Chain A
Amino acid sequence: MLTLTSPVETWAHRLPAGAKLAALAVATTSLFAMDTPLTLASALGATLVLILTGGPGFALAGLRLLRPLWPFIVIVGLWHLWIRDPSGGAVILMRMVTAVGLANFVTMTTRLSDMLAVIERLARPLAHVGLSPRKLAIAFALVIRFIPVMLDRLEQIGASWRARSPRRPRWRVLVPATLAALDDADRTAEALRARGGAG
C-alpha cells in the first residue's frame, strides 16, 4: 500500500521523527497564538519556502495534499467577504493552510515505520493497562495486511452480485464483507494463539 511519505529524498527525511513531531507541535501552537495578517503571511511564506526546499516534485506533491481544504477556503472566503472582514478571513485561512502544510511536510518526510515507532514509544506507558508494545505492533501489522485483502474480497462480492442480479449491489455487499471480517478475525486469532499468542 502507498503511504504519504514522499519518495523524493529531502534533507528533512534524515531528521529523527520525534524531533520533527516536537517541532511541529511547537510551530502549530504558536500559529494559533498569531492573529495579525502580517505575522501569518510570513508564517505561510516560511512554510512555502520549507516545502520548496524539497525540490519541484516534492513541492507539487505537497501542494496536492492541500487540495481537500478548498471547500473551507471557498466558504470562509465568501463568508468574510460578505461580512466585509477580509483581513479576519485571511487570518483564519492562512493559519489553516500553514498548519496543514507544516503537518503534511512532516508526514511527507517521515517513513511510516519511523512514525509507527514513535506511536509505539508514546504508547509504552499503556503497557500497565494491558496494551503491550507487542500487541500494538501486531495490531498495526494486521490492519496494514488486511486492507488489501478486504478490498479484494469486496471486489469479489460485488462481482458475484453482478453475476446474479441486473441491479447494482449497493449496501447489501456490506453484510458478507462484515461477516468475512469477523471470520478472518476468528481465524487470525487462532493462528496467533498457535504461534505463541499476542503476549
Chain B
Amino acid sequence: MERNLTHIALFAALIAVLGLIPKIDLAAGVPITAQSLGIMLCGTVLGAKRGALAVLLFLALVAAGLPLLSGGRGGIGVFASPSVGFLVGFPFAAFVAGWVMERTTLSPAVAATAASVIGGIGVLYVFGIVGMSVMLDKTLPEAAFLAGAFLPGDAVKAVIAGLVTQSLSRMRPASLLSRA
C-alpha cells in the first residue's frame, strides 16, 4: 500500500532529476536529455500501472508550476506548446513499456529495450506527431519529419533503458517490480 505510493512518488522525482542533469553527460557526444529515459524506466522497472501513475504525478507537478521538464520548462504553458502531444503521450508510453515488460519472458535487457522502443518511441511518437500536427496545423507526414530529429537520441535512450534495467535485475532481481 504505502510501498506503491512511495515507489510512484520516487520515480516521479527520478524523471524530474533526469531532466535536470546536463545534456552531454549521458552518451558520448550525443546531446540528449535523459527525461524520456526516465519515462522508459518508469515502465520497465515499475510496470504498467505504477509507471503510468508516476508519470502522471510528475506531469501534475509540472502543470502546477515546477520547472521540471528538460531545459527548465514547466507551468501550464508547456501544455499549450506544440510539444504537448509528447507530454500527453508520456503516461501512455510508460504504461505500454511496462505492459510489454510484464507480458514477455525475454531476458530483462532484451525485454526492456524492446519495451522502451515500443512504448517510449512508438507510442510516444504517435501522440507527439498528432499533437504537433494539430498545434502547428501541419499534415501528419510533415509533423513526423519534425519529430524524426529526436529519433537517434531516443534510440540511444531505449538501449540505455535496457542496460540499466538489466543491471538492476542482476544486482537485485526483486527490484524489478514489473517482473514481480
Binding site for B on A (CB under 8 A): 1-5, 21, 24, 28, 65, 68-69, 72, 75-76, 79, 88, 91-92, 96, 99-104, 106-108, 110-112, 115-116, 119, 135, 138-140, 142-144, 146-147, 150-151, 154, 168-171, 174-175, 177-179, 181-182, 184-186, 188-190, 192-193, 197-198
Contact = CB atoms under 8 A, between A and B. Distances in A.
Contacts of A175: 164, 167-168, 171
Interface of B: 1-3, 5-14, 16-18, 20-21, 25-28, 34, 37, 41, 45, 57-58, 60-61, 63-68, 71, 73-82, 135-137, 142, 146, 160, 163-164, 167-168, 171-172, 175
Nearest to B21: A154
B61 A140 contact: yes
A92 B137 contact: yes
A119 B17 contact: no
A104 B67 CA distance: 12
Given A72-B82, A186-B6, A3 B66 contact: yes
Q: 6 nearest interchain CB pairs?
A: A107-B75, A142-B9, A115-B64, A104-B77, A103-B76, A99-B80
Contacts of B37: 174
A28 B13 CA distance: 30
A99 to B, nearest CB: 4
Contacts of A143: 9, 12-13, 16, 57-58, 61
Contact of A193 (B2, B61, B77): B2
A142 B6 contact: yes
Contacts of A188: 2, 6, 9-10
Contacts of A21: 76
A65 B73 CA distance: 8
Contacts of B79: 103
Given A68-B81, A184-B10, A139 B57 contact: yes
A30 B47 CA distance: 39
Given A144-B66, A186-B3, 9 more contacts: A4-B66, A21-B76, A107-B76, A111-B65, A112-B64, A151-B17, A177-B17, A192-B6, A197-B1
Query: SS class of chain A's interface: helix, strand, loop or mixed?
Result: helix
Contacts of A171: 26-27, 160, 163-164
A43 B6 CA distance: 44
B136 A72 contact: yes
20 contacts: A3-B65, A3-B66, A65-B77, A72-B82, A72-B136, A91-B137, A92-B136, A96-B82, A100-B80, A104-B77, A119-B63, A139-B5, A147-B16, A147-B68, A170-B25, A171-B26, A174-B160, A179-B168, A182-B7, A184-B10
Given A110-B65, A112-B66, A175-B164, A4 B75 contact: yes
A147 B18 CA distance: 10
A150 B6 CA distance: 14
B64 A96 contact: no
B164 A24 contact: no
Contact of A4 (B58, B65, B164): B65
